[in-house]
Each structure stands twice: as C-alpha cells, then as structure tokens.
Amino acid sequence: MSKNFSRINFHNETVERFKNFALSNNENYTETMEVMLDFFEKNQINPFVPFDNSVNSLTILINKRMDAVESILREIENRDLIPTRQMLESLFVKQEPKKPRYVAIHLGK
C-alpha cells in the first residue's frame, strides 16, 4: 500500500539545511522528519523554549550529588577502610624476637 505525500512550503535555506542533514544521516526526508518529531515528543522537549537553562541546572545538580557521594566515600575510607588496613598490615609485620630476661636469684645470705 503506497502512502500519500503532501507538500509544505519552506524557505530555500531551510530546505537545503534539511536535505544536508538527511543525507548526512543516510535517511530519506520522510524518515528524517519522523525521527526528529519523535525525538521532541518522546523527550517532551519544546524547541521554542530555551534548553540551555535546564541543561545547566541539571549539570549543577549532578555535580552537587557527585560531591556528596565523594564526601561519603572519603568518610567511609577514613572511618573504616584505613584502620582495617592498618590492623591487617600489623599482622604481617615481622616482629623482632624477644631477648630472654635473666632473673637473678639470690641464694644465700
């Protein structure tokens, strides 16, 4: 079953940009337009609303969370891992043999 085609008028510069975009992705024009529309609908992105602010605020939020995770990991390392490592290392340190002690016993007057 063949699909019907329809026409929309665009400025020549826009048509050339769209053609180049479609060709660079090895797709026909219909597929390219469908993928573009699906992208905006699926991600609920409005191309007419500035996108940089939301991306920037998301980046700041992620960076703050990563700082918090790093802080938690450093605390675990200082509180748990380093003392445990020191205890385990002390088990494998070769200790000097103890010198025998001589006790003087007085046997007489």
pLDDT by residue (tens digit) across 1-58? 578 888 899 999 999 999 999 999 999 999 999 999 998 888 877 888 776 666 777 8
The phi and psi torsions of 68 (rounded to 5 degrees) equal -65, -40
Residue 84 within a domain: yes
108 pLDDT higher than 70: no
Helix (H), strand (E) counts: the chain? 4, 0
CA separation for the pair 20, 26 (Å, rounded): 10
68 pLDDT higher than 80: yes
H or E element in which residue 67 lies: helix 52-76
Q: Do 57 and 89 have their domain in common? A: yes
Residue 4 within a domain: no
Residue 68 within a domain: yes
Closest residue by Cα to residue 37 from 77, 8, 69: 8
Quote the domain boundaries for residue 78.
Answer: 50-93
Q: Do 56 and 87 have their domain in common? A: yes
Q: What is the mean pLDDT of residues 78-103?
A: 83
Locate tokens 């992705």: which residue?
A: 25
